[in-house]
Structure 1
């Protein structure tokens, strides 16, 4: 059974990431702060919050020993904090001065990776705080070191997974590993060696906007290089899977989705679901020595081995309430699936008999439910209308990536350009700003050395790709 231990309400905006050390919990937010708590009683440390970023903070991670905390931000920096006092130990300015989306330490804390929205992957020698190399990639949103620390994986918004070595050589690329983009990836802490003791095999998990969780085998051969092979595809969640992680011993695998569920898998058995927090028929849990107990909305499982048939088409289906289709475009079958998802299975036949599709669904009223669909129960009619209103209010897709928003207008850019301060803006907005604000940077307030604006074609392509997927 899973129970809530503590809830903290300190951040004033979206919480983008959280990380554990052996004794601390760190959280970072779009409110520009990083907060640090003791895991003993979840009290906030005296030096928290950490306020060194000038813009929203996307990611945070601890060094192996927990002595340092790194955080990265739209302000194009990765800040290293010492956990002894909360003071800034170093500010690592990302090459290209683009928003930094992700950062992570190597297992021995010898290296730190940071990835930015302009596609730049930077590798830092952590003891010296010096940049060892930077290479171009597509917009990077995920990265993870192998347990041996000699390789790292990156994932991009274009859906690609790449394996690199510490010389910044690209060893393997899996194009379009996830349709619509990768959201997270992580190596398992376990690794296999050959008889000579050489590391030869790793497990890597990735997830994406395609609602899938994928387990890969990464082979390292000292004569032929590196290869990736897809081992399993898990489709037990119904919307974009935003995060995934292995437990410290590599025995369990967890994923979180936009369908508001968290699923836990037995990793050593490659896709056996042992817990899902969606108590509905669409996630039936079954298996040997397993039973499901519902108690006041809490789901309890006794025993391991509750399997979900992840590879089947039915298991992989996205319910329409969480799909990217506009409700107006729903078919009659989509409406039926939505009714089942909302616990209104008894109405499916009536809706089908009256050919209710998405457009008709949105136009329903109490009168039509009563006179046309013959739903006599007042409570049931009210529930249907309430569910329709909730659906209208809910967002159809995930949040807009920060780098797609103009810092001036806070709207998705149509014609992004790079100004002299290294930031991207909507052309019309920065033109107007320069004319009225004495040539200062909207982000730093420092004078712009030139008014020359460079089209950001890479960002424009990414925005177009993202827009077409919505």
Structure 2
């Protein structure tokens, strides 16, 4: 017997037995109607590259304003601004904006697009008048230990700043001074995010904690503490720009996405139960990246889409209704450090240590698909206090994605052959690829679309892009979920 072992970022080690048996390959003719329809649908879901901007330094952060102006912060200590001119991005007269003496770690526009905040690795923070390129304030430091995270509040009246001293600060734009300090993290604050109504501020630290603070009015202690949600620290977090509101109690429920050094993205829903306490529940977690997560950002217009970047040189697009990976964007030759949607969600920018920024066109079908799924789920919603009764349903009565959603609330024990090797999620539409292995349809299609012509498992070149529905496994998954 010949054995070999493989280890993965999904925290598993597998032992494999090698045999001389050939792997069966199933093909369908190129003229197949089903495959033709799949190719057409695939084309509609592709992220096309609009432009590639070559920089003179590593790219650390990017952001858009309402006019599709793009700002880039990098290791050359400067902030550069570009305006979209057709299919090109031209550097503006106000660029570059100089003021930092070390690498620029983060950049963000205010919601109105008139102001820009930048933070450097030495902890200095600058607020700019974007229209003139002039500094509104002289560079300041939070504390002797500095900090690198800075976010504008939705109302643009203050900044949230993360310190290496474990504190988070509110900085008033009007008075140009710190208006409140939130204590408590045991390590440096790596990321921050405001709820869309500016009621709360989330902070994530290098120790793997997420804390939620009341900011309207600002007060401490924290309203929510989540411990050890990411091994080796929380790197990025972001709130969805939409929230739900209970018609009777008026309680608002928010969604927060987090990314960490454990290569995992987690999504939580949060809601206040009184003036002092907020509860949280993990909705799902996503695996797929082969390295630490560097950035997570919700789409501004359709909050059912999330982008994540990682040191594995890829950016992934996720469906926030089911946690499935919609697309894998591969272009950069080095770590992808950041990503940002335009306010109208028609563009996505990704920046990398390869000194380039790529502008991608977001396909309309993704937003439309997520809107349909949202409307469909709201129409057939199951109250959070009720269990989904599957006993009286047959396989024909229920959609597989609904079963998956219900199953995630109650169990995590899923047979390995039902999990897609690419997304590490239970499959909804399993298909057999030319390499003989079964994958989630959209995952293997995204793999192929992004220029990969080898098997995700064996790394052997694929002779065909045709796939066949694995109807037997799909029925087995339904039966398993129905119990």
Pick the TM interval, shorter chain: 0.5 to 0.7
Q: Partners in 2 of 1:95 and 1:229 — Cα distance? A: 32
TM-score (normalizing by structure 2): 0.58
Residue 87 to residue 212, structure 1, CA distance change in 2 (3 Å):
same
Shift of 1:276: 2.3
**8 Å contact from structure 1 (residues 200, 221) kept in 2:** no
Measured on the aligned residues, the alpha-carbon RMSD in Å equals: 3.1
Alignment of 1:209-288 (within 5 A): 209-223=261-275, 225-249=277-301, 250-267=303-320, 269-277=321-329
Q: Partners in 1 of 2:364 and 2:458 — Cα distance? A: 22
Residue 316 to residue 345, structure 1, CA distance change in 2 (3 Å):
closer
Cα offsets for 1:119-172 (capped at 9, x unmatched): 231111222222111234221111110000110111111111111111242111
**8 Å contact from structure 1 (residues 144, 185) kept in 2:** yes
Shift of 1:342: 8.3
Q: Partners in 1 of 2:421 and 2:263 — Cα distance? A: 8
**8 Å contact from structure 1 (residues 235, 315) kept in 2:** no
**8 Å contact from structure 1 (residues 19, 27) kept in 2:** yes
1:21 aligns with 2:74: no
Shift of 1:35: 0.6
Of the candidates 161, 173, 184, which is equivalent to residue 236 of structure 2?
A: 184
Task: Report the 3-state secondary structure (helix = DSSP H, G, I; strand = E; otherwise coil) of the residue aligned with 2:229.
Answer: coil
Of the candidates 18, 39, 42, which is equivalent to residue 89 of structure 2?
A: 42
**8 Å contact from structure 1 (residues 191, 199) kept in 2:** no
Of the candidates 203, 212, 219, which is equivalent to residue 163 of structure 1?
A: 212
1:144 aligns with 2:193: yes
How many equivalent residue pairs? Answer: 305
Alignment of 1:281-430 (within 5 A): 344-345=459-460
**8 Å contact from structure 2 (residues 202, 211) kept in 1:** yes
Of the candidates 247, 250, 262, which is equivalent to residue 195 of structure 1?
A: 247
**8 Å contact from structure 1 (residues 215, 232) kept in 2:** yes
Alignment of 1:31-180 (within 5 A): 31-40=76-85, 41-91=88-138, 93-136=140-183, 137=185, 138-166=187-215, 167-169=218-220, 170-180=222-232
Q: Which runs of 5+ in 2 are unaligned?
A: 1-45, 332-362, 371-399, 425-453, 462-483
Q: Which runs of 5+ in 1 are unaligned?
A: 280-299, 320-338, 347-470
Higher share in helix: 1
TM-score (normalizing by structure 1): 0.59
Structure with more relative contact order (C-alpha pairs < 8 Å, separation 6 or more): 2
Task: Report the 3-state secondary structure (helix = DSSP H, G, I; strand = E; otherwise coil) of the residue aligned with 1:189.
Answer: coil
